[in-house]
Amino acid sequence: MSTFKAIMLAIVAAMMLPHVPSNGGGSRAEEVHPVLVNSCLIGGTVSGKWMAAGEVAPKLQGGEKYNFYTLTARAGESIGDKPKRMADYCPETMEIELSPKPTEGVVFAIGGQWNALPRAPQVLSNNEQVYKAAVADVLKSKRFSKPRINITRVLRIDVDGDGIEEVLVSASHYAGGLGSDTGPMAIRARGGDYSVVFLRKLMSGKVQNIVVAGEFYPLEGDKGNPPSQYIVSAVGDVDGDGAMEVIVESNYYEGGGSTVYSIKGNKVEEMTSCGCGA
């Protein structure tokens, strides 16, 4: 075979190879989908893999589009700025300003086009006896003898998309206060105080109470750090896999934050969190 013919055959063969788009380094461009909770960059997916905020932030240049959600519905869309430090005393916490600003009641925002609320939670009454009894059962398992039951939120939602609805219960009692409009937030925990979020899930024909987050002081208080109170602020598919993650808001005296949990079966995994406080 002549040299000229060999060169031409090599050129034709190269032209028939599939084209791989380049991002300058020879690999496929990354798909970055950030997740915000109350404007805080809490993490996101990068080419389908969930990553913490510190890994996602350098990949955002500003101008990304976000869809935002309340507890029960999609509420619109905005464009996000480049991430910036939330405060000097919280150097690792990044926030993103959205324009236009989300309406009141928005909890989280997704920098992706999938429906992050394929199944909307139903808000139930805090006074149902079945859920009061469930709170009592959880607390008795934590050595509470006569707990004071104070439910703060009940949500019915099919978390894993199997067609069977679960119930998320939030409950808190702090003798020093819950930080409402009518009183201060507890600075110290006392004996009998608690705050808990748990999932009631049917497994093998039996309802289980699966604790997602909580603090428990059955006998003695805590003379050190101020206690946290927990409540489910939203449920949403934050990583685009079709299953719903649970977003829990936690607050304490002079601080607070949010944590995203994945629940598979009776296993609870903390995916990531963000917050700031003194």
For the stretch 191-244, pLDDT in tens is 999 999 999 999 999 999 999 999 999 998 877 789 999 999 999 999 999 999
The predicted model gives 252-264 an average pLDDT of: 94
CA–CA separation, 92 vs 77, rounded Å?
26
CA of residue 72 relative to chain centroid, distance: 15
User: The pTM is what?
Assistant: 0.87
pLDDT of residue 118 exceeding 90? yes
Whether residue 272 contacts residue 43, with contact meaning beta carbons closer than 8 Å, is answered with yes
Residue 191: the pLDDT is 94
pLDDT of residue 153 exceeding 50? yes
Residue 28: the pLDDT is 52
Q: How confident is the model at residue 94 (pLDDT cuts 50, 70, 90)?
A: very high
124, 217, 250, 123 alpha-carbon torsion, rounded to 10°:
0
What is the 3-state secondary structure of 95-160? ECCEECCCCCCCCEEECCCCCCCCCCCEEECCCCHHHHHHHHHHHHCCCCCCCCCCEEEEEEECCC
Tell me: the pLDDT tens digits for 84-93?
998 888 888 9
- The larger pLDDT score, comparing residue 155 to residue 181, is at 155
**Cβ contacts of residue 11 below 8 Å, gap of 6+?**
none
- The larger pLDDT score, comparing residue 13 to residue 34, is at 34
The predicted model gives 103-121 an average pLDDT of: 94
Residue 225: the pLDDT is 83
Place of tokens 């509420």: 75
Q: Which residues are registered as beta bridge partners of 197?
A: 170, 213
Residue 5: the pLDDT is 43
85-88 — which CB contacts under 8 Å span 24+ positions? 86/40, 86/276, 87/276
pLDDT of residue 129 exceeding 90? yes
Tell me: the pLDDT tens digits for 21-46?
333 333 456 899 999 999 999 999 99
